[in-house]
Amino acid sequence: MTGPAHLPGQATQSTATALQSRNLGFRWGRQQPLLTFPDLHLQTGEHLFLHGPSGSGKSTLLSLLAGLQQPTTGELMMLGEDVSHRASGDRDRFRADHLGVIFQQFNLVPYLTPLANVLLPTRLSPLRRQRATPTPTAEAASLLGALAIAEDHWQRPVSQLSIGQQQRVAAARALTGAPEIILADEPTSALDADNRDRFIELLLTLAKARHTSVIFVSHDLGLAHHFHHQVCLEART
């Protein structure tokens, strides 16, 4: 990981550890090789860029951090809790309460409107519902506005939106109910360079205002300058 790179103004903010991993490894199947990962350490409110060539294990590592898979080896601490060896139901609960996830394919519910999609985390988690201010609907509307989704699009099925718009809806959904950590897996791969940079700046500005930590995965090293830290996964032979 590169140096601490604290931004001006951060000194007065909390410096609690958002995430720490040690000796994390994962095997996709008995006959598969053990994929090992560098140790991570991220403070609250910091933004980490995770990059590496295709097949290096970026998505696998993110699925461990999201609790979609359980690590084969090592320890994972998130928000001061050891989440390495929890049952899948507990990992699902932790994700619903504390993590905003933006998947590569966005994973929006196609027949629901943008507003209904953004409200989903607050329906799944009482904690996220409680944190959505002033109300879940008002927060969802405010996030959609901040992410430049025009109001006349809010009541259409999300499948009728452009890829860029769907991606911004996915970002609004990840941010709603103020999760402590956002995990984003290559959400910009379908965009041109200008829209990619604009999206990342918007996401990080909103995250910064909420003091949310972000882990952003991409193979595109040209995006690294937006982030406080970067970690490179090595090519697998």
Ligand X SMILES: Nc1ncnc2c1ncn2[C@@H]1O[C@H](COP(=O)(O)OP(=O)(O)OP(=O)(O)O)[C@@H](O)[C@H]1O
Binding residues for ligand X, rule: CB under 6 A, are: 28, 32, 35, 52, 54-60, 219, 236
Please identify, using beta-carbon distances, which residue of 32 and 155 lies nearer to ligand X: 32
Please identify, using beta-carbon distances, which residue of 28 and 111 lies nearer to ligand X: 28
Give me the half-sphere count of Cα atoms (radius 13 Å) on the Cβ side of residue 46: 25
Q: What backbone phi and psi angles, to 5 degrees, belong to 183?
A: -115, 125
- C-alpha to C-alpha distance for 77 and 86, rounded to whole angstroms: 11
Q: Letter for the amino acid at 45?
A: G
Please identify, using beta-carbon distances, which residue of 58 and 91 lies nearer to ligand X: 58
Question: In the numeric block, which tokens belong to residue 39?
Answer: 């140790």
- C-alpha to C-alpha distance for 120 and 83, rounded to whole angstroms: 23
- Smallest separation, CB 39 to ligand X (Å): 18
- Smallest separation, CB 1 to ligand X (Å): 18
- Smallest separation, CB 57 to ligand X (Å): 4
- Smallest separation, CB 221 to ligand X (Å): 12
Please identify, using beta-carbon distances, which residue of 150 and 163 lies nearer to ligand X: 163
Please identify, using beta-carbon distances, which residue of 62 and 206 lies nearer to ligand X: 62
- C-alpha to C-alpha distance for 133 and 76, rounded to whole angstroms: 30
Rounded to the nearest 10 degrees, the angle between the axes of helix 136-146 and helix 193-209 is 140
Instruction: Give all strands of the β-sheet with 213-217 in edge-to-edge order.
Output: 99-102, 181-185, 213-217, 47-51, 229-232
CA gyration radius, the chain:
17
Coil, helix or strand for 50?
strand
- Smallest separation, CB 143 to ligand X (Å): 27
- Smallest separation, CB 163 to ligand X (Å): 18
Please identify, using beta-carbon distances, which residue of 74 and 157 lies nearer to ligand X: 74
